[in-house]
């Protein structure tokens, strides 16, 4: 082994080739690391943007539900409002409009069943 090391140390071309190989390996590893870090940062950014979008949509839905329930309770104080749970935003819009137009409870329930 000692003999091989001495020959390696004396051969400039072989040492240069080994050095270049190590540099290329290191450069490739750094490119992979940079790519990984960029992908990770991009994923976090997309996650935040998607989370904001979902949060805004949930907030709008909750607000429409609350307003619709308030109006429903003011128009029909003795009626059960459980049928107004778990609706979509557009359904709350329809019901809210119907409540403003003083539609009957039966018509409102029929609108949800469609």
Chain position carrying tokens 């778990």: 86
Pick the residue with more confidence: 101 or 47? 101
Q: Please give the share of the chain, as a percent, with pLDDT higher than 90.
A: 35
Q: Is the pLDDT of residue 114 over 70?
A: no
Q: Please give the share of the chain, as a percent, with pLDDT higher than 70.
A: 98
Encode pLDDT of 5-57 as tens digits: 777 777 788 778 888 889 889 888 998 888 888 888 887 888 787 877 888 88
Q: Is 17 exposed, middle or buried (0-12, 13-18, 19+ CB in 10 A)?
A: exposed
CA 23 to chain centre: 39
- What distance in Å separates the CA atoms of residue 16 and residue 5, rounded to the nearest whole number? 14
Q: What is the pTM of this model?
A: 0.58
- 3-state SS, residue 101: coil
**Residue 83 and residue 108 in contact, taking contact as beta carbons nearer than 8 Å:** no
- Angle between helix 105-113 and helix 89-100 axes, rounded to 10 deg: 160
């Amino acid at each position: 082994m000692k003999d091989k090391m001495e020959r390696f140390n004396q051969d400039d071309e072989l040492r240069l080739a080994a050095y270049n190989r190590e540099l290329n390996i290191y450069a490739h590893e750094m490119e992979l690391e940079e790519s990984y870090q960029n992908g990770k940062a991009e994923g976090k950014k997309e996650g935040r943007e998607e989370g904001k979008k979902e949060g805004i949509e949930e907030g709008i839905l909750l607000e429409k539900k609350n307003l619709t329930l308030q109006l429903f309770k003011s128009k029909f104080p003795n009626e059960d409002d459980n049928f107004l749970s778990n609706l979509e935003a557009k359904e709350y819009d329809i019901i809210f409009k119907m409540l403003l137009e003083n539609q009957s409870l039966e018509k409102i329930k029929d609108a949800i069943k469609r």
